[in-house]
Amino acid sequence: MILAPQTEPTQQPKQNCLTWNQLINNPAFKEAFEIAWKDTAKSGKENGGWIFYDPKANTLYSHRASEGERRSMPRIEDDYRNQLSQFQRNGQAVVFFAMFHTHPGGTPYPSGDDLTWLGDKSKSQTGNLPISKLGIVIHGPGKYTLFHQYGELSPTDRRLNDCIQW
Ligand SMILES: [Zn+2]
């Protein structure tokens, strides 16, 4: 999925300011989250993917991983590496911003594996982010829990309105 640039000069006077709240409330991403949940409702298995940013094109991309199991996504690391290779072959230098996935049983918080995976990705990229990287657990239609590598984030966390810097 390719999305239009997120920086609207009329809404955000500061150039290149993208906030986490803007990102997760983007209709195209919400649609991607809802489609993942619909797939999960059908199969009973985890579905998800990632959000990447291409600074040169000022564009966000959402990509899906292959469907997982009931309580895990065993191929997510391979899928992630394949996706990065694909970007590389296209000559695109992207920044990993976020991962999203469903919890078929409706568990509304990230698992230990979720935190480890995100922590690993947060360490592997340099940058000055107010929140290292974002995780999104989809635990029902329209039901999302945000987390970073240390745990859940309150929807009212002020850092969600900070410009993401990279
Ligand atoms: Zn999970």
Q: For 83-141, what is each residue's pLDDT tens digit?
A: 999 999 999 999 898 999 999 999 999 999 999 999 998 876 655 555 678 999 999 99
- Quick one: tokens of 41? 């409702």
In 3D space, the residue among 100, 1, 83, 2 whose CA is nearest the CA of residue 48 turns out to be 100
Is the confidence at residue 9, as pLDDT, over 50? Answer: no
Q: For 23-76, what is each residue's pLDDT tens digit?
A: 889 999 999 999 999 999 999 999 999 999 888 888 889 999 999 999 999 999
Give me ligand 1 centre to Cα 61, in Å.
21
Give me ligand 1 centre to Cα 8, in Å.
33
Give me ligand 1 centre to Cα 9, in Å.
36
- In which band, very low, low, confident or very high, does the pLDDT at 10 lie, cut at 50, 70 and 90? very low
Give me ligand 1 centre to Cα 103, in Å.
6
- In which band, very low, low, confident or very high, does the pLDDT at 8 lie, cut at 50, 70 and 90? very low
- Quick one: tokens of 75? 């191929």
Domain 20-161 in CATH 2.40.10.230: no
Could you tell me if 146 and 153 are in contact, meaning their C-beta atoms sit under 8 angstroms apart? yes
Give me ligand 1 centre to Cα 41, in Å.
15
The H or E element that residue 29 is part of is helix 27-43
Give me ligand 1 centre to Cα 16, in Å.
31
Give me ligand 1 centre to Cα 67, in Å.
13
Could you tell me if 114 and 153 are in contact, meaning their C-beta atoms sit under 8 angstroms apart? no
